[in-house]
Structure 1
Amino acid sequence: MKRVTLLAIACLLLVPGAASQEEYGVVDAQPVFRTINVDGAVNDWSEIEPAYIDTVGDSNGSDFDFAAAYIANDNEYLYIRVSFAEPAPYGDAGWLVNVVFNTDLDPSTGYSFAGLTGSEFFIQSGAVFDQRSGANFVDVFEQSADNNWGAFAFTDTAPFETTTDVEIGLRRDLTFSDDEDGMPGLINPDDAPIFEFPDFIVVFEAEDPEYNAVEFMPNADPAGETGIYYEFATGTPVESWPLH
């Protein structure tokens, strides 16, 4: 796939820190090296600034009104925390929330998600779907209860209930093949890594009950690509000193 150089995209990026609802288009997130326990509790996100603070009250008929996004990583996982302005029915309707990844920084490759970015894969309700072909969902040889829609892997996600915060843990070493816990029968699995490069753009999208895309984080830029730019942080987790 074509890859846009960082020099070209750097012109779009803002000073690292918590981007606000006044900003749209491509915004820059501060890399954070932290191991997160994906259990639905958010105490281990303490002292991590939001990657983006969204406008509230603009859900336009969706049950999911984004409030903020947080991003961190360690050597094995990418961690995402999505905060909602009000308790949202993630357990009953999590398929109406999509976390979309442009991993080659090229808006013309992959699936054109709402015209805002070119998606190589996305996460929906804990399932990970391949969009490199330009299709919304990858075809499977024969749909069944075991391979509905053709997810090639699954994330650690919690909680699956009405909540104001959802945590996601995505393995960084995944490939687009049938993962051991993925669905069988994909037409085009291969061993390409989902993160070929050390950075990506992510977009958060929520839909109304009729599956219309109505809520975005960051706010949609009508003139160009939208998303949060993140480069994987490097480091070693800090362990607590033993008490004597």
Structure 2
Amino acid sequence: MKITYHGHSVLSVVLNDGTRLLFDPFISQNPLTDLSVEEIKADYILITHGHDDHLGDMVPIAKKNNATIISIAEVCKYAAKKGVQKTHGMNIGGGFDFPFGRVKLTHAQHSSGYEEDGQMIYMGEPGGILLQADGITLYHAGDTADYSDLSLLGEQYDIDIAFLPIGDNFTMGPADALRAANRLKARTVVPIHYNTFPQIEQDPQKFVDKMPGIGKLMKSGETIEVENNGDQT
């Protein structure tokens, strides 16, 4: 599994069979990304929740690539109304076996809504995404506060790599994210959702330094390859 970080909360994943996954494609308005909407290739687009800095360019990317959007049911219904042909709606706690692997939506303590034409559209519950593919378990927390039930994920799943927000203000900050990391017991923890806006400015290096051997700082455009024994290259 090859994982690339693209700034804010954007991840792209290429699986061993060549399937291309894209998480939270906030691209065109993202000052930290290395991507352009026109160049992105994706087979599936996974959305944690319905805020504009996570939905981002979901619709044009899905249409251009004929990609399937996987998310909470309300986000998928919104995408379908915008002309996206392929969606797979889910709900919190549910899992599904796709051709590439299994996806489960987890709780996130946050909100979810999208403002359009002066109206706020309800986008369902926010979530995290647990991906199991290529013998790897990846957890993308989306936007969330720290909460005690994260320990249940740590007990139930052998998480190889977790992506946790550290920006504070809108999500948990570094101190809470460290507690969350301890609950999850992931082999590797990567900070996301920081420095995109003035309200979420953080020093991610200080965060990873507090988790020696576990914390990993990924720059925008950086790729790591995770093997099914947890090793990284």
Band the TM-score falls in, shorter-chain normalisation: under 0.3
The alignment's TM-score, normalised by the length of structure 1, stands at 0.27
The alignment's TM-score, normalised by the length of structure 2, stands at 0.28
Greater helix proportion: 2
Which of the pair has the greater relative contact order for Cα pairs under 8 Å at 6+ separation? Answer: 1
Which of 1 and 2 has greater Rg?
1
